[in-house]
Amino acid sequence: MKKIIFSVVLLLVATITKAQKNFYEAMEANGESAIYEGFADQSANGDGTYNFTRGKPAISLKVTRLVTGQPVGFVATPVDKGVSGFSQTELSNYVRVDSYPNVLYIKHKYTKDAYMMTDDILFVVSNTSDSDVPKLANVKAFYVLVKERGETVTKEGAGKKKKGGFMARMKAKVEGVGQSPTFKYIKRVNIEKVFNDYVTAMKAKQANPLTTKDKMEIAKIRRAREAGDEEIKRYNDSIKATPEYAKLKTHQARMEQMDNNNARNLITINNKTGRDIYIYQNGSRNGTRINANSSTKVTCNSNYTYKFDSNSGGTGTAFYSANANCGSSVSVR
């Protein structure tokens, strides 16, 4: 009897694992017109559910593919104009998936931000190590699929249809966290179970050996990335070969030389007095203000004095003699 129960459990686990969609499959299953509402600043309730205190701009998601069909990234486009979106692509030198074709996440090498996709939630996970799986504790944003789930009808409105078309309701702007049906839905979801079950299922799928087809597709993605680098290099080399580029480099060199010559005729004055001061070039009544702990550059071929009060009489206190320390600096203390 125990053997029968164990076999049934194994069969159930294998079925769930096989049915689990990878990152790209889950994203494409919802369609490019789908809208995702964003939430952040979460706190655990202790039963696998979470509460959220901040919303994020709604987005739509689209998988990007090579012309040969292999998925290589995604683009998140904001629903509202004037809001920045985000994207990741393996054609970049700094972005990779953890495995192919059973992609658990796509991650940026330097920011260490990873993106995971379950059936209806896009997770943005920070501090993701190459040698470890993403952790729920590191999720900094959740983007939840907006759709009719049937649980938003109130008792008073039972049996009544909501006004407005489906897309109009989906795109309705949320005025704050807690006002939308999507927020009410995600608060009831056992996110801890969804997240951990997804990671477990995908790691199990990744344990399967790569097929010949898988290896061929991985090679195509790698060649596309390398071709992109070569194309950029060819373009840069073609620009550098033009007469215009040669003139630009000559001009830049001339300007750099002029800057170097000018620097040799300047002195940097650092104000270390702790108060604002006014410096005066020899023979001038117009002072230049230098704020406390700030500095300025002046020509080095004159004597200079300083005052704390520009309205006070006298010539001020001498602190620099002409042509001393040109190209260097002097501090007023």
Question: What pLDDT score does 285 carry?
Answer: 83
Average pLDDT value for residue range 56-85: 94
Higher pLDDT, 284 or 229: 284
Residue-averaged pLDDT of the chain: 84
Question: What pLDDT score does 159 carry?
Answer: 40
Higher pLDDT, 73 or 179: 73
pLDDT band at 19 (very low <50, low <70, confident <90, very high): low
One-character DSSP codes across 214-276 = HHHHHHHHHHHHHHHHHHHHHHHHHHHTSHHHHHHHHHHHHHHHHHHHHHHTEEEEEE-SSS-
Please name the residue that has the structure tokens 């490019």: 32
What's the pLDDT tens digit per position in 31-60?
Answer: 999 999 999 999 999 999 999 999 999 999
Question: What pLDDT score does 250 carry?
Answer: 83
- CA dist 44 and 39 (Å) reads 14
Average pLDDT value for residue range 285-314: 89
Measure the CA angle with vertex 119, ends 114 and 123; round to 5°: 25
State the Cα torsion 247-252-257-263 to the nearest 10°.
160
Higher pLDDT, 167 or 331: 331
Question: What pLDDT score does 155 carry?
Answer: 34
2: pLDDT strictly greater than 50: no
Q: Where are the domains positioned within the chain?
A: 19-149+162-207, 263-332
Question: What pLDDT score does 154 carry?
Answer: 35
- CA dist 239 and 230 (Å) reads 14
Greatest mean pLDDT among 168-172, 217-221, 322-326 lies in 217-221
Average pLDDT value for residue range 288-293: 90
Average pLDDT value for residue range 280-309: 89
10: pLDDT strictly greater than 70: no
pLDDT band at 174 (very low <50, low <70, confident <90, very high): very low
Question: What pLDDT score does 30 carry?
Answer: 95
- Of residues 196, 235, 221, the one with CA closest to residue 92: 221
pLDDT band at 235 (very low <50, low <70, confident <90, very high): low
Question: What pLDDT score does 297 carry?
Answer: 87
pLDDT band at 292 (very low <50, low <70, confident <90, very high): confident
Average pLDDT value for residue range 222-243: 76
Three-state SS for 178? coil
What's the pLDDT tens digit per position in 100-130?
Answer: 999 999 999 999 999 999 999 999 999 998 8
Cis preceding-peptide flag for 101 (omega within 30 of 0): yes
163: pLDDT strictly greater than 70: no
7: pLDDT strictly greater than 60: no
Q: Which percentage of the chain shows pLDDT scores above 70?
A: 82
Question: What pLDDT score does 8 carry?
Answer: 40
pLDDT band at 177 (very low <50, low <70, confident <90, very high): low
pLDDT band at 18 (very low <50, low <70, confident <90, very high): low
> 110-119, 169-178, 301-310: which range is least confident on average?
169-178
